[in-house]
Every structure is written in structure tokens, then in C-alpha cells.
Structure 1
Amino acid sequence: MPSLRLGVSLQPRWPLDDGTAVLRAARRAEELGFDHVAVGNRLLDSGFGLDTDPLVLLSAVAAVTTRLRLLTSVLVAPYYPAPVLANQAATLDVVSGGRLILGVGTGWNPAEFEAVGVPVRERGARTDDHLAASRALWAQRPADFDGPFTRLRGARLGVPPVTPGGPPVWVGGHSDAALRRVLRLGDGWYGTGVDADQVRDVRRRLRELAADGAASTGDAGAAGAAERLTLAAAAFLTPPGVPAVTEPPGRPLGGAAPSAASVADELGRLGEAGLAACTLWLPVAAGHVEEAMEWIAAEVAPQLT
């Protein structure tokens, strides 16, 4: 695979009578050279595909693969109490040999927030609290933490992560609040459906927000915080000849009638703009996922090297 690392979402609606189909697809993704697979976070039926807990499903994927990185795309941090989030993520980090990337977001679905008893208006504050507390638990034994929703005194996480400081955290979102959260608590930014100009704009905004933060705190070193961050994003792709079963929820990669050349061209421009990893979300039936991945690996990836 090329320097722009390509992954694939395991989001199609897999047949309930064949629970191993998604695991076979993950193994095939690894064989084809993809960098990562991604699983979203839905508690209630979304109508878009596989509605599972990402940490549970990716644990199963970890057991049937050896190299493939495992991305939550994205885990809704307010749904998980901080010690639960920290311990589950650390467990998957350990059993996968350090292959977890924790993509996180604040969430949006009022029905799901109501189902878990979390006020939707608190989602931003809870995301900050849960991420900061998780980072404390990953990095410190014992850990002390005081936040609006989490308080720890001499806490020792049940399992320390194998990755020093915990798995890398990619924070989703396009707002200034989300980008500030990236700078404070993330190792990377994770977007959706962006083009090359938008990627460059995100880097510019991160630099400006980092400089503003450095000026307000007097911490000169904070001004360079944006440069250490990984930029990654999900993109929506229906390969030619593969029937779509749902409309992509964003701008299609490679245009309305994508070809290998148009997809490779757009991915190349994204890479030149600074995108390091791209997750391909395929709005196709489960039975066509491997066919779609094989087309990407054979027709698109060689043009990017």
C-alpha cells in the first residue's frame, strides 16, 4: 500500500446467521495490504450497517489478524465512564499487541444519549473529562484525577496498556471546539468526507488555535503542538461495478462515477495536502465488501506508490 495509509470500514450490515463474515473480511483486508480496519459506535439500530460496540468487535478482529491496525471510527466517549473506557481500550491495546487507534467523538444521537442516561448537552464536557481521565490512568500508576465527572485517588487501572501512555487517540470533529480538543487531548485529528483544501484548512486552523493557546498561557512550546498531530479522515467510495445499497452520507471519493484514476488522483491530492491515513467507507452489501477491497488494492493502490 502507498504512503497514504488506506483502511476500510467494517460497517456493512453483515448477515446475522454468519457472525464470522466480518472476521473473514478483516483477514482479507490484511492479506490485501490495507493499513487498518474501522468500526463505528452505535447502540441503537442506525439503518446504515453493523451497529456494534467497536471495542468488542475489534477484539475479535485482533484475534484473527496479526498486523492490521484497529480503529474505532468513532467511539462516542460520553457513553463510557472514564475507568471503563480506559480499561477496555487498554485491554484491546494489550491483546492486539499495540494495534489499537482510539478514534473518539462527542456523539450526536439524542435517542442513544437518553438510553444511556447521559444528558446530550454534556457530551462535550464528558468527552474532555473521560479522555483526560483515561490518559491519566494509562500513564500513571497510581493515578489521581479531578474532573467534573470523574474523580480518581490512587487508582491503578486493571491492565496497563502495552503502548506507552496508552493507544493513540484521534479526535473527530470539524468545529473549533473539536480542534481545541485535538490539541489538548489527541494524537491526531479524524475528519469525514474532506477534500485536499479542507485538509490544508484544518492544519491551518490547528496551527492558529495552538498559537492562540500558547499566547494565552505563555507556554511557547504549545505553539508547535499542531505539527505533531496525525491528520486522518474517512471517505466514501462505491467502486465501479459494485452495487451500492445505501447513499453515502457524504461526498463520494473520486466523483459521482468514480474510476481507478479519479479515486487515485483524489487520494494523491489528499496525501499531498497532509492526510496520513484514509478510511474507505463502502456503502455496499456485505457480500460485495471483499470484491470492493480487491478492486482498491489492485486498481487504485498501485497508482499511489
Structure 2
Amino acid sequence: MTLLRLGVSLQPRWPLDDGAGVLRVARQAEELGFDHVAVGNRLLDSGFGLDSDPLVLLSAVAGATTRLRLLTSVLVAPYYPALVLANQAATLDVVSGGRLILGVGTGWNPGEFDAVGVPTRERGARTDDHLEAARVLWTRRPADFEGPFTTLRAAHLGVPPATPGGPPVWVGGHSNAALRRALRFGDGWYGTGTDAAEVTDVRRRLREIAADAWDADRLTLASAAFLTPPGVPAAVPPPGRPLGGTAPTAASVANDLARLAEAGLTACTLWLPVASEHVGEAMEWIAAEVTPRLT
């Protein structure tokens, strides 16, 4: 069975008059032994969670912690010009000491695409273009690149990344196009609300699409999962099946996580649909009751 690393999403709606609350929770997550914290990417108010820029917020988290890995879950690559994306990610990789994991996706929100002036129909092609250009910028000085949306001529990225080759890239999505993108540009695949059967199916599909089995097996398999610990009130309904079922116990949550690990998942981000004041309590329950059952 694969060792499963647990992280926590920093997505609850934090009070605007307590901007440091999210940093306190990140420090607590580090003290409790979690592997990573994650921040999503929305530009317009969703009414659902913390709608901040992931690279900006994770830069603050980097300064408040020393060990936690920092995951964008997920950054919408078409929103950012390739050069801006490459430089911002490299900057965060440097200031965090190589702790960034760049989770990326194509996005879906038509209102946000209209607001940034990017046609929704181009989101897949722009994601491919930006990821390929970013990798070139992270690995070559000077960098030359010619793509449908990005042209580079003898470019020297302003900040070379701390991680050789650039931060690891986890590509989100369950479609065949997303799996092809992960194989072509990524170091990992990132799902949402997956169960063990879906992880097994993704591994199979990756092997079918890949040129050879090694290319598929090199990818990290990770996913977000939803969890409302017992005794902690939910602020919003989970957007998918919760870990441990509708009445979770430490044993049922640990059993679900163990099945995910057996299927090949190596990292799981716990999305806690609870109010900000209960996030610390929820993390403490996971660390005390669930994590020991996994080891």
C-alpha cells in the first residue's frame, strides 16, 4: 500500500476583519503534521469559500511556515499569461524553499473568462501553451518558444525556480484530454472527490493513453476529498461524496483513505466544508483520530 500524505484546503470563508486567521490555521496544520495546504483559484466572489489568488495567499503561507508544501488546487492556467505564470510560480518556489506544487486546470467559469478577456473555447489550448512555455522558461536560459499564444525569443526568466526543472505540476481533471495533458506536461494528476474505483480507473486510462507504462506510472496520483468530522457543524453541503460516508467515524474515514492508498493515491487534500472558526477543531480530530489509523 502506498503511503498517503494528507493535506488541508484553506477554502473556508475567512472573516475579512481577521486576515491573519488563514495563516494561523496554516501554522496549526504544520504543527499537527499535515503534508500540505491548498488554495483554489477564483477571481469573482463565488459565495462558497475563500476567493483569493492562490499564488498570493500561498506566498503569505510560505512566510508563516517552514515545512508545509503549498498546493494550488487548482490554478486556472488560461487566466495567466505564460510568462507571468512562470515567473510568479518560480518566485513562490524560491521564497518557499522549493515547497510549491503547481496544481493547474483549464477552468470552467464563463463569467471569469469573459472578465479576463479569454475565450472559454480556448481554455484547453491556452493551458497547453502556457504549461509548455513555463517549462521552457524554467529549464532554459535563454529560452525560445513558439506557440499559438506565446512567443519567446532569447528570454531569461526574471526568477529561476529553486526546484530544478521548476515546481512539480499536477494537472487536474477527469477527462481524457486532462489525462493526456498530465502525461505531456505534468508530474502528477489531481482529481476531485475520487473514490478507490475511480483512482484505479484513472491509472488504467493513463496506461492506455501513454506511450509506455513507465510514462504513466511516473505520475503522482493525488485528489481532493470532502470531510466533515463528527461533532463539527457543516457550513455548506459537501459537493461530492464525503469520506467515511454521511455519518463518518474515525474508522470509516481511515478505511476510505486506506482504499485510496491501495488504489495508488499518494496525496489527499481534505476539503473541510465547515466555518472558519471550526477548521482548527476539525484538523485536530483528523490528526488525533484518523492519522494514527493510517500508520
The corresponding residue for 2:155 is 155
- 3-state SS, counterpart of residue 177 of structure 2: helix
The one-letter code of the counterpart of 1:264 is A
Q: State the Cα distance separating 1:250 from its structure 2 match.
A: 1.1
Q: How far apart are the structure 2 equivalents of 1:45 and 1:250?
A: 21
The corresponding residue for 1:232 is 222
Gaps of 5+ in 2: none
Q: How far apart are the structure 2 equivalents of 1:97 and 1:269?
A: 33
The corresponding residue for 2:101 is 101
Q: How far apart are the structure 2 equivalents of 1:233 and 1:286?
A: 22
Is 1:125 the counterpart of 2:115? The answer is no
* Superposed CA RMSD: 0.8
Q: How far apart are the structure 2 equivalents of 1:196 and 1:48?
A: 27
Q: How far apart are the structure 2 equivalents of 1:72 and 1:174?
A: 17
Is 1:287 the counterpart of 2:273? The answer is no
Q: How far apart are the structure 1 equivalents of 2:29 and 2:3?
A: 17
Listed one character per residue, the Cα deviations across residues 102-131 of structure 1 (whole Å, up to 9, x for unaligned) are: 000000000000000000000000000000
- 3-state SS, counterpart of residue 223 of structure 2: strand
The corresponding residue for 2:260 is 270
Write out aligned runs for 1:172-191 (5 A).
Answer: 172-191=172-191
Is 1:252 the counterpart of 2:242? The answer is yes
After TM superposition, what 4+ stretches of structure 1 lie above 2 angstroms from structure 2? none
Listed one character per residue, the Cα deviations across residues 159-210 of structure 1 (whole Å, up to 9, x for unaligned) are: 0001000000000000000000000000000000111111011001000000
Q: State the Cα distance separating 1:223 from its structure 2 match.
A: 4.6
Count of matched residue pairs: 294
Q: How far apart are the structure 2 equivalents of 1:98 and 1:256?
A: 38
Listed one character per residue, the Cα deviations across residues 223-282 of structure 1 (whole Å, up to 9, x for unaligned) are: 520010000000000000000010111111110111100000000010011000000000
Q: How far apart are the structure 1 equivalents of 2:223 and 2:4?
A: 11
Normalised by the length of structure 1, the TM-score is: 0.96
Q: How far apart are the structure 2 equivalents of 1:34 and 1:187?
A: 21
* Identity score, percent: 83
The corresponding residue for 1:81 is 81
Gaps of 5+ in 1: 215-221
Q: State the Cα distance separating 1:3 from its structure 2 match.
A: 2.5
- 3-state SS, counterpart of residue 144 of structure 1: strand
Higher mean Cα deviation, 27-36 or 195-204?
195-204
